[in-house]
Amino acid sequence: MTLLYLVRHGETVDNANHIMQGQTPGELNTNGVRQAEELAERLKDEPIDAFVSSDLQRSIHTCELIAATHGKAIRTTSLLRERDWGSFTGKYIPSLANLKDPSLWPDDIESLEALKARAKEFLAWLKKEYPNKRVLAVGHGIINKAIQSVYYDKPMNELKPMGNAEVRMLELNKLTSEQVDE
């Protein structure tokens, strides 16, 4: 069984300022570094075999802080990147509140279908690359929600959002062939 410790990166400067980061690198703020260090301390005795991160800096930094307590290097993958918010990237999130209806969104935003396909590809990749391993993967709020949507076979809006530096455990052997192509 592959066991996934799914983690959201620590708080960033843009999180604290309510800025839509999308696929920008992002930078952990002091609170985000503290969150990652506290999570590293909580997980230091867990037998984690591998550490994987989104290739965006905010996740890499979080993953490196956690992996350091295990003396392990990290591997990055673009499959864990945050949703591409297109022209919403860099915008003040409260200013987008009147655009809750996706039909009003610009065409350059990554679709939920594409996001969930990427989440499915990540889960299949993880099962293939790390069979019967315990893997900690640091991603982002929306891609992590898409991964859980595929895993639990539930719509994304039925899943509770992850907080910064939150971890959730997923047992990948429970996935069906419909959820993840073998």
Residue 61 designated active-site:
no
- What does DSSP say about strands 3-8 and 134-139: parallel, antiparallel, or unpaired? parallel
Amino acid, res. 51: F
Backbone phi, psi, residue 108, to 5°: -90, 10
Q: What is the DSSP string of 86-145?
A: GGGTTSBGGGGGGG-SGGGS-TTSPPHHHHHHHHHHHHHHHHHHSTT-EEEEEE-HHHHH
Catalytic member of 61, 82, 110, 140: 82
Residue 9 designated active-site:
yes
Catalytic member of 9, 61, 70, 140: 9
Cα gap 94→75, rounded to integer Å: 34
Active site residues: 9, 82
